[in-house]
Amino acid sequence: MAVLYSNIRSEIRTGDLIIWKTTAVEDIFDLFLLLYQKIFNAKWTHMAIATRMESRVLLTEATPPVSRLFPLSAKNRDFYWLQTSIEERDSHIAYLLTLLGREYSILDFFRSKLKIKLSSKQDYCSDLASEF
């Protein structure tokens, strides 16, 4: 069940997964995600790793054109929260920060689905989560 961000904000920890399904098209990437969801009957279309910095809850995510750090509060979409049992450490945040700036494009999305990996610096959102 989707949850209200304000109700769980204080409980979200670094390493937790934030997951979405596409229900509306706001840009070209959403269109591709929606098509993917329909064609492959996918339950989820996007995933990010929660990155807690003091009182802020940020997301480490792969979204065109690069992997980035983005405030969860700015997403403005319903999401699903998957708690993990990963112990929070400064080294985890440092590692997540090394993922930022990796190139990511619509082509990378399709390469990921077809299991074609051209570069270690190109990741789909679930690739980032599995790496962590």
Q: How far apart are CA 37 and CA 101, in angstroms?
A: 26
Tens place of pLDDT for every residue, the chain, 132 residues?
A: 656 788 899 999 999 999 988 788 888 878 888 888 888 888 888 889 999 988 899 999 888 888 899 999 998 778 889 999 888 888 888 888 888 888 877 777 677 667 666 555 545 555 556 665
Its pTM stands at 0.76
Return the SS3 of 13.
coil
Of 5, 35, 9, the C-alpha closest to 22 is: 35
Neighbouring-strand partners of residue 71: 58
- Give the start-end residues of each E strand in 29-108: 46-53, 56-63, 66-71, 80-82
